Structure formats: C-alpha cells, structure tokens
Amino acid sequence: MFALKGISRLIFGSNNQESMIDLPQGQLYLVRPFSPKGYSELLFKDASARIRRTAQEFQYQLVVQRVYEEGEAELLAEEEGDDTEADADILAAERDEKTFLLDEALHFRVENREGSERVLCWRDLSGDAGDVFEFVCDGGISPAQVKQFELIAKQCQYERKYRKPHATASKEDLLQFEFDEQPIPPASPIHSPVLTRSIESSEMFSPKASAKSGPKRDVISDLDATPTKKSPPTPIKTPATKGKERDMGPPAVATHPEPREMLAAEVAELHFFDFPSGAFVQQDASVTATVTEIGNWKYWLQVGSADRDWLGIPVTADINPVFNFEFLSFIFNQFAEDGSAYSWLLRFKDHATLERFQEGLMQALWEQLNEIKWSKIKDKDRDYVTDAFNDLTMEDAEQEEEEEEHYEDAEEGSEDEDDRPQSEHYDSDEEEDDVEYKPKDGDTNKQIAVGYKHDRSFVVRGSKIGVFKHTPNNNLEFSTNISKVETTDGKLFSPKKVMLHNEDRNLILQKDDDPNKLYRMDLEYGKVVDEWNVHEDIPVVTFAPENKFAQMTHEPTFLGISRNALYRIDPRLSGTKLVDAQLKQYVSKNDFSAISTTEKGHIAVASNKGDIRLFDRLGINAKTHIPALGEPIIGLDVSADGRWVLGTCRTYLLLIDAQQKSGKNEGKLGFEKPFAADQKPQPRRLALTPEHVAQFAYETGKGVNFTPAKFNTGEGVEESSIITATGPYIIEWNLKKVLTGKKSPYLIKRYSDDVKADDFKFGTDKNVIVALPHEVNMVNHTRLKRPTRESIAGDFGGRRGSRFGSPMKSPSKLSRSAIVEEAF
C-alpha cells in the first residue's frame, strides 16, 4: 500500500488546486544526454504524475509527487532530524514534489515504446541543452489514460497561451502543442555509466520477478567524481589479512579452462562494485557472459568483450548468485586466491535474455553441487530451484501488519551496559584486583547450550564447560566451571554435541570418536554419571529433544538420526537404547545431517544433499519431502507451531512456510498432511547481498560461513527474529520484514574475533548470547546496526586499530568489576 504525502498547500495556498487527471504509478528521471555530470538520475523511484489547477485562471501545473511506502515518510523525516515542523514541511516540499508550469516552452510530449512502456517527457528549463525530465509509466497504466493525460496537457497549454477556455479550440489548434523532435532519450540505467547501489542504503535490489508490472528502473546517481564508461573504479586498499595491502580494483583474469559444453552465452552490460563510492560502476557497455562445462562436474563463468577479457571464475555456491528480474540483473561475487572478494553486476536487455542466462547458470550450479545432470530432474523441480534464487517475498506478505519499528537502530541510552566481550580465566583463587587474561590451555569456545527452565547458559571449551547465570539486567555472570569432562571410566574428552535435558538438570554429551554412544552429565554434580550404547550398528549423527520444550519437563526420551535413519532413544531401556518400534530406516543413503522438533512433537529432518523431510511422528514415511536446492544443510530449526522451517546452508538460510494455502488440506501443515505434487512449499533464500559479502571479505579476508541459524523461542512467544553468525559478525533477520519483502532485512554486529556459537536468550528476541574463541557475552538487540560500511568495518569503542590493519583485541587486563563472563 502507498500513501501520498500531501504538501501542495506549501506551494499554493488555495483550495482551487484541483487535480484534473493523474497517472498513479511510475518513476521520474532527469536525463542529461550531453552532460558530464552523469547520464541519468532517478529522482523518484515510486511516483505519481498529475495535472492540477492553480489559483490563477488559465494557469495549470504538471506535478510529479513521490509515493511512499506506508511509514517510510515518517521514518525519513526522523532521519533528517528537522528542528521545527515548518522546516520539516519546507524540506518535504523540496524533497517530495516537482512542479512545472504547463507552458509550451516545456515541449511536453509522449512516446510509446516497444512493448507497453509509455513515457512522458518535457524539457528541464533550468538545465543544460538537451536535459529532459521523463516520467516512465508503470505497465498497469492503460494507453487510454496516457492519451487522455496528453490531451488535457495540450488543452492547458492552449488556455495559458490564449487565456481563454480550451472549448474554443479546434483539433488543429491543439496540433501546435505537438513537438516533433528527436526520439526521447532512454532513461533506463542500462545506458548510464554509473549504477548506484549504496551499501548504506536499505533500498537495495529485491530479487523479485515483476513481469506483471513491467520493467522498473534502478537508482542511477551522480557521484562527486563520476567515472566515465569503461574507466576502472578507484583503487583502494584492503585490510592486511595476508600481511600486505592489496589493490581492490578488478582482479587479474585467470587462465580460462577448455570448455566442453556451452550452457549459456548472452550479451549484457558489466558493472563492478566500487567500495569508496558504494556504487556499481560500469566497466563495459557490451560484454558476452558465458557459462560452460569444463569436465568432472566443474563449470566456468567467463565475461569478456572484443576489447578486454574481464573475468573467469568457477561456478560454485561462493559466487552468491542473485537474479533480479525487476532490474534485469545478475549480481555475483568473485573470490581471489588471496581471500579478497569482489562484486559484479551483469545487466541484460530484457527478461528473455536474463531467463536464458539464469537457466544456464542454475544448471551449472545444480550439477556442480549435486553431481546430477539438470536434465534428470523434473521440470517442476527445476522451476522450484530457480525460483528460490529470485523471489524473497511471501504470499501472505500484504496480510502482515508492519510491527513497531523496534528493528531500527535504537538510541543508546545512558543506562546501556557495555556489551563489548570481555574475559576472565577460571581461577577461584585469583586476586580481587585486575586480573591478567591469557588462555593457557590452547582450547577455544565452540558450543552454547541455553537453558529453558533456569536462567543458565553452558559453554563448551575443550574438555571444560563453563556455566553462566543470566542476570536480571541481561548480563552474564560466571557461576561455575566443570573443569573435566570425562567418561565413566575416567577418559577425558571434548564433547562434539551437547543438549540440555530433564528440566535442565542433565546435559547429554557425544564423544567425537565414538558415534554409537552418548553420555549423561548430572549438572548438580558436574560429572558424567551414565554411558548409553545407542545401537551397535546405527550411529548417532545428531540428536534433538522429543518436542520443542521437552527439556523443561521430565520427558526421558529424545530423538536421534544416523545418515539414513530416524529413531527414538529411551535411556530407560536395558542394553541398547534405540527404540526398534520407532525406527525409520531408509535403504538409500539420505545423508541426514540435522533434526528439529515442534511443540507438538512434529519432526523435521534435513540432509547434506539439501532436502528436508517433515514427519508427524516416528516410524513412518515423511508427510512432505522438500527438494534440495544444492548446498548441504548444516543446521535446522522449526517454529514452535510448525509454521516455519529454517535450514542453514554455508552461504544462505532457507525459510520455508509449511502451511498449505489451497486444496483439500488448506490450512494444514506439511507435517500433518502431504502437499499436493504441484504445490510444494517454496523455500526462500535468506542471503547477504553480494555487496555485503564482498565488504565482509574486504574487512576479514573470509567468505560467508554461517553458524546454525535459530529462531528466538519461548513458551507462548511468537518467533520474530532469526540469529546466525559468519566470521566476526552476528546477523539478525527480522522475520516480519522478511515476510513483507523488505530489502536487506537484517542487522549486524561485528566483534574482534570470530563468533563460534550464538543463540537467543530463552523467551526473548532482545538478547543474544555470543561465544567468541575466548569470550562469552550477552548482547542487547539495540547494539545491532544496519549493514553500512561503518558497521561492517566495526566499532570497537576506540580500541580498534586502523581500518587497513588487523583490529586490536580486547585489552589483556580487565577490572574485576567490569568482567561479565567467561572464565576458562
């Protein structure tokens, strides 16, 4: 829904300003065909055009007014921080509306282009020769509406010129207001040397096919120093991740392997993301992008022109492909051997060209990940995979009411605690004054188990487990240390996997080199008291509670998976603990990798193949099978009510709506009833934008590698956020913003070290518990920021080193009163 910000009263204080006709949707451009300032500038991405009366007789105005998404205008006003209401109104008038006196000097004209595109054009009388404004009508505007708008514009010009009603004018009289000039210059960004997609802007591409509404335009903007076509972007230096600075212009081209089969070859325009300007800078107006098979399930993306060989890279998940049909673009990353990352954009001439290229690229990516020929899978499955790389909106997006903007950056009040991670080693005899912290054991933190029944978190570090209390003011306070994790026969081990159990009184542990056994630690005594042999022939890949909140109860059983089996584990059984009657074993190797349960005990199981199965109970076939997109699923979570399934892959997350929208099972979950064959639930990829991926790598020298993502959870608490991490960044997705199709719907916070594990505090989405290699911390939601160049670079409270060097670590001496934390 859109809301017009009414400000015309600021310009003409009369009730006579009656709108005579309007075109409700389009985009306004300023086009400068001969100007060194830059070819095309998008003034209003969403706008309406109308003709209105003024207070003076025979005087009319052409008015183009910005159209806001609901709530956007108020947010923009807040960000501008106007001191007075009057100042705000004046600024709004200048920002939101363009008015032009309808005079023949404008040379107002209309052009119908190929397809259904219709453009209104008029001279910029205050600009340079040849400068024009263009209003590009949306595809939903009918030809009759545009024709009527043009007629009324002629009549208004007639009345102004002759100062009499247009009813006296003949058709021939109006012909003088038809201006036969050169064709209207195209306003499309395809013709512009600079494509701005600011890393600081929330208005980034939304990969959503928009064939119905016709092509829209992206932001084209003048920069302080606009590069000319084919000019290289400004060289910049990256952090010295390899001990030396390096240039961040386009990298040298690799030697191209010999192609065996051509999968796609299309002509496009090439842009390179320039970090200093935050813009995609045009490198070449015409290149050929090819995707080829080079043998042994390997594929190659090559871009070049007659003048230059631009790039060649292997097609893997690391390229982070994003297809945007709204802007006819394909955006992707390139990683160099030294760890540096670059972001490129290919813009194609039309939907058909982009679709052909997408088909070839997706075939290459699918075959590389699965080692299965694209032609072997069904058409509907190919469409399913392809669609997941396009559309980030949900079917019921418009039904979601926009939540209170808690997602915006919150002001940091004076009562905020310093949430920078700090540390203390485990030593009950340490002095009361400052303590020296330096790890002596060579271990690092690697797992967190967050208590549901009691306000405790358990952090695994080597063969030790730290216990932390959640304080009333949302900090962590060290409680105790379980210094030795040993088997019942005294063998020290480092737990591979841990899970709280039996009202948070027990911790279930798995030993890395003995997958057929599990161990029960009694947390009251801090020692392993039971060793369970699950099955002689069926190992445990991972395990999960019997239902979402089972750890808050005395429920003794829990679930486990092997690579090809799903089963219940009952510690009360004598001998092996696997319940044979509740075993579902597959003949084929499904390579199961993750499991999660709902509040009712419905079960989701994912695999390294990338597919997900939904069960209503153990021992039977899955009710729903969700096909793989390609990457292995390394983590799985489910909302308590079973509506949302969240899978984690290395470079993206999958969010799946398990509720059926039509048919005889409408309203039912995929756990309860199977989806119709042609109505599989459609996963949505939640991925960082390619620019952010490149900026992360620019800062850290690393690609994306997500930790298992989790919903916030709690009894009676609706899931609203998703937390994960990659490298030194924690990333929080706002679920409602994802569902309503918001662009870049995530916040970030950077730490000085890599995040090893993270999870929400139970019962809230406002606090996240984070484990760094040697530190543990509870961070408030308000500390997370929008992904800008500044927040990606990181703010370490003045303790961070130069942008071009490695960030400084936390100080080695910490006041005992300031310590939150860990203490190993």
pLDDT in tens, 195-252: 443 333 333 333 333 333 333 333 323 222 233 334 444 333 334 333 334 445 677 7
709: CB partners within 8 A, 6+ apart: 635, 637, 646, 648, 653, 722, 723, 724
Q: Which two tokens stand for residue 432?
A: 């009361």
Q: Which two tokens stand for residue 383?
A: 């469409």
Pairing outcome for strands 527-533 and 517-522: antiparallel
Q: Smallest Cα–Cα separation from 453: which of 521, 508, 501?
A: 501
**What band does 439 get if pLDDT is binned at 50, 70 and 90?**
low
Residue 574's pLDDT is 94
Question: To 5 degrees, how large is the angle CA 400–CA 403–CA 408?
Answer: 130
Q: Which two tokens stand for residue 482?
A: 């379980």
CA pair distance 329, 305, nearest whole angstrom: 18
For residue 250, the SS3 value is coil
**What band does 802 get if pLDDT is binned at 50, 70 and 90?**
very low
pLDDT in tens, 58-112: 889 999 999 876 555 555 555 444 444 444 554 555 578 898 989 998 999 998 8
**What band does 255 get if pLDDT is binned at 50, 70 and 90?**
confident
Residue 182's pLDDT is 73
pLDDT higher than 70, residue 604:
yes
Question: Of 92 and 787, which is predicted with more confidence?
Answer: 787
Question: Of 147 and 408, which is predicted with more confidence?
Answer: 147
The CB density around residue 64, as the number of other CB atoms within 10 Å, is 22
Residue 740's pLDDT is 82
pLDDT in tens, 155-199: 999 999 998 999 999 999 999 999 877 778 887 544 444 444 333
CA pair distance 273, 329, nearest whole angstrom: 14
Residue 36's pLDDT is 61
Q: Smallest Cα–Cα separation from 165: which of 175, 155, 153, 176?
A: 155
CA pair distance 284, 301, nearest whole angstrom: 17
Q: What is the mean pLDDT of residues 545-565?
A: 94
DSSP 522-555: ETTTTEEEEEEE--SS---SEEEESSTTGGGS--
CA pair distance 338, 242, nearest whole angstrom: 7
pTM (two decimals): 0.65
Average pLDDT for the chain: 78
pLDDT higher than 80, residue 451:
yes
Q: Smallest Cα–Cα separation from 538: which of 579, 502, 483, 598?
A: 579
What whole-number percentage of the chain has pLDDT above 70?
76
Question: Of 278 and 589, which is predicted with more confidence?
Answer: 589
**What band does 558 get if pLDDT is binned at 50, 70 and 90?**
very high
For residue 610, the SS3 value is coil
Inter-residue contact 181 to 109 (CB < 8 Å):
yes
CA pair distance 647, 758, nearest whole angstrom: 16
**What band does 462 get if pLDDT is binned at 50, 70 and 90?**
very high
CA pair distance 365, 343, nearest whole angstrom: 18
